[in-house]
Chains A and B, each alone.
Chain A
Amino acid sequence: MIVLAAVAVLLPFAAAFIGMIFGPTISHLLTPIARHLRHTAPESGRARGLARRLPANGPALVAVLPIAASTVLTAVIAVVQWQAPKVRTGTLTVVQTGGVPFGIGLDVDGMSAVVALLVCCVALAVQVYSVAYMRDDPRYSSYAAFISLFTAAMLLVVLSGDLLVLYVGWEVMGICSYFLIGHYWHDRATSKAAVKAFLVTRLGDVGFLFGIFVLGMAAHSFQIRTVLGHVPAMPHTTLVAGTLLLLCGVAGKSAQFPLHTWLPDAMAGPTPVSALIHAATMVAAGVYVVARLYPAFLFAPTSLAVLGVIAAISMLGAALAALAQDDLKRVLAYSTISQLAYMAGGLAVGTRDGALFHLLAHGAFKALLFLGAGCVIVAVGSNMLSAMGGLRIAMPVTFWSMTVGFAALAGLPPASGFFSKDTILSQAWHTTKQRGPEHVPAIPAWTGWLVLAVGLLTAAVTAAYATRTWLVTFFGERRTPADAREAPALMRWPVAALAVPALILGFLGLGSDHLRPELDMTIVSLLFVLAGGGAVFLIWNRDPALDPVRMLGPVRPLLRDGFRVDAVYTVLVVRPVVAFAQMVVHTDEHAVDAAVEGTGRGVRRLGGLLRVTENGNPQTYISGVLAGVVIIVLAVVVFT
């Protein structure tokens, strides 16, 4: 079992290295075989087309096959775990350090098995999609390798049994994210976005690392199980400090306020990257880590309250910002922030299962939406919503798949988002009324109220922007060139395949008592959803050619800029830092350098004085030598 998990982690890891180094070589080796296949392939067009393209693409093979194997392995693990639920652990070795030792090992339980399966599924879909999407990219090989490495890192985070190993995966994801966002580095904005993403998440990671240290030192172990076992015995202050520090990293990675600003900019990367990293997996890692260490958070209600506040702000703010975006991918980016805040809110009100449920559902439908958006963008040739419209007829598969995705995003039954979102809202409602289990401190009731109220409002706004995006993209006047048509099969079918879980994943929750939605809350939230979506539809229906967002009026630019948080950061952080850096440079040039150069010049001048004696005349030299001898003898005579 653990071996399977380890192989599942190592396969993409190996694929990354092989793909990075040997990808093009494999292509060369495969080309003759592909030519042979082409000649002997049956006459039917599709098989022939496959034979023509796939086998000769070495990096693609190296990228897709291992992740497919990993998917199978994780599926096996998940099935076994479902039938015989227990925690399975395995430790390769325990590394002795000067202080607290840490072990290299994996933990598999129900939660990690399911999330690992999600990661593998989404990664597989993204890899297959990328084969077509990045076909003409000269650096496809390194791109696919980074995706593989990223997948391996995410699986490591999910399956790791040790906080430090988890942190390794966490950081590898960060650097992969940097490389993938900056894939089009020759574009200035793209490289800036990559740097921004790296720096902002890094800011949170510092806190995360120290959080790990606090918890690890308090438990005198970095093994997650040991740490969680020690939690009830830990001092309250330590626990609150540790969890709050962890929340820094979570806010950075999961793009929660106030460290969310990198995510919308990260849309500059290729669309499959956005789907994989910035929707389904990496940003989910933050939420996952909180869920993984949930017992620690349960004993620190202060941290949960802070998480609730962060979630409330991110949820509503990001939803409003998504409503006003002009760029399809930025709409989805803000919606990601908002949906992740839902999960964080669910964690804040005490439902780990609900949050994970939403994580799974969101992973499915957000990957679907991003990949679908990629199809649309390829067809239209622009990211801008203003360039889209009326694509319903031209792209039926994409249209229907994305319809499912938008329904799930908005929370319409029977799509998955409806169930998972209602689970969270129901739990928030419970938290306002009654306290949780006896043995843990109570979560403050106001947290429940806050998450509930903001969650309902956000549901309305979410429905509004989902409806608006859906309508503007697929309905109304056709603004695209006439030749816009469906994306290639390799891109189309992953999208369609993802629509299945996005649609039916919610029903899995019906089997569990924790996850079954409650009727009254369902009705209330549906009312909010219908209000939001209906309002947008009515406005749009008046003039289908116009964007319904025009009704926002003067508020719109503010929302479009994400409440100008970036501008605030520019004033508060960036400018002072730049000014300070310039001051340092100035000091370096005019004080330090001047001192160094002045020393050099002074020594030269001093040397010039001494050089007068070195005139090349040996007699002068001998005079000096003999005078010195006389003086020394004199000194010896006088002083002895």
Chain B
Amino acid sequence: MTTADIVIVLLGVVTVGSGVMVVGTRQIVHAALWLVVSFGSLAASYVVLAAEFVAWVQVLIYVGAVVVLLLFGVMLTRAPIGRSDDLDSGNRIVALVVAVAAAAVLVTTLVRGFRDAYFPLKARVGTGSSATIGASLFRTWVLPFEALSVLLLAALIGAIVLSRSDIGPKAIEEDPEPPARPRRRGDGPLARRRTRGPDDEDTIVLARIDEEV
């Protein structure tokens, strides 16, 4: 077991552990924060694996943008900030069984398949540098890259269309009196503080989010 192995196992423990906390915690905001930990340790793993550029992109986009987006989502949906006991649905037991079974099958198969697979990490140093990846990206993969930019544009437009209330079907918005909000268990004071018009601010925020993406 080399040093790299030990480091990667330690980082893996952190990654998987924080991932389990993400899906197991009883506070939504904590879940987002645990996600940051998980992504960060994963970025560290990439560094250990000599993929530096990927690691920085991971930190920038995942930790910097995605998690922030998710936190915005948490706030905009008036999710309970504090501890709440009903974050898990009734499907929990089944989910646990399926997840454990998947893990068991995957781990068993992978361990049996790659028991003797080693690779020289030192020889790989430099293959993940931004120069190498950039060259590869803009030489070999330039066409998929451009296609991806079109996809991003489409996603941008889609997000705007979905979130703006003044375009699209009118029937929903012109409902004269909005249906009474169902009373939810664990509603925090945030949920009751809703006094202003719901949609205008959401749209602006989302548009800004998209720009950020």
Contacts and interface: CB of A to CB of B under 8 A. Distances in A.
A623 B91 CA distance: 8
Interface string B80-109: 000000000101001101100110010011
Contacts of B109: 633, 637
B105 A634 contact: yes
A619 B91 contact: yes
B139 to A, nearest CB: 37
A233 B189 CA distance: 115
B91 A626 contact: no
Given A619-B89, A619-B91, A623-B91, A637 B98 contact: no
A620 interface: yes
Contact of A623 (B95, B105, B108): B95
Interface string B123-145: 00000000000000000000000
Given A627-B101, A634-B101, 16 more contacts: A617-B89, A617-B91, A619-B89, A619-B91, A619-B95, A623-B91, A623-B95, A626-B98, A627-B98, A629-B102, A630-B102, A630-B105, A633-B109, A634-B105, A637-B105, A637-B108
Interface size class of A (residues with CB under 8 A): 10 to 19
Which of B89, B97, B101, B108 is most buried by chain A, counting CB atoms within 10 A of its CB? B101
A623 B94 contact: yes
A637 B89 CA distance: 32
A626 B102 contact: yes
A623 B89 contact: no
A633 B98 CA distance: 13
Contacts of B94: 620, 623, 627
Contacts of A634: 101, 105
Contact of B105 (A617, A619, A620, A633): A633
20 contacts: A617-B89, A617-B91, A619-B89, A619-B91, A620-B91, A623-B91, A623-B95, A623-B98, A626-B98, A627-B97, A627-B98, A630-B98, A630-B101, A630-B102, A630-B105, A633-B105, A633-B109, A637-B105, A637-B108, A637-B109
Contacts of A629: 102
Closest 3 CB pairs of A and B: A619-B91, A623-B94, A630-B101
A623 B99 CA distance: 9
A637 B112 CA distance: 11
A312 B105 CA distance: 98
A421 B178 CA distance: 104
Contacts of A623: 91, 94-95, 98
A634 to B, nearest CB: 6
Contacts of A627: 94, 97-98, 101
Nearest to A638: B105
Nearest to B99: A626
Contacts of B105: 630, 633-634, 637
A630 B101 CA distance: 7
Interface in A594-635: 617, 619-620, 623, 626-627, 629-630, 633-634
A627 B100 CA distance: 11
A599 to B, nearest CB: 33
Contacts of A620: 91, 94
A627 to B, nearest CB: 5
Contacts of B108: 637
Nearest to B108: A637
Contacts of A630: 98, 101-102, 105
Contacts of B91: 617, 619-620, 623
A633 B107 CA distance: 12
A425 to B, nearest CB: 100
A623 B175 CA distance: 36
Contacts of A633: 105, 109
A634 B104 CA distance: 10
Contacts of B95: 619, 623
Q: By CB atoms of chain A within 10 A, which of B95, B97, B98 has the most?
A: B98
Nearest to A625: B98
B86 to A, nearest CB: 14
Nearest to B112: A637
A619 B108 CA distance: 26
A615 to B, nearest CB: 10
B97 to A, nearest CB: 8
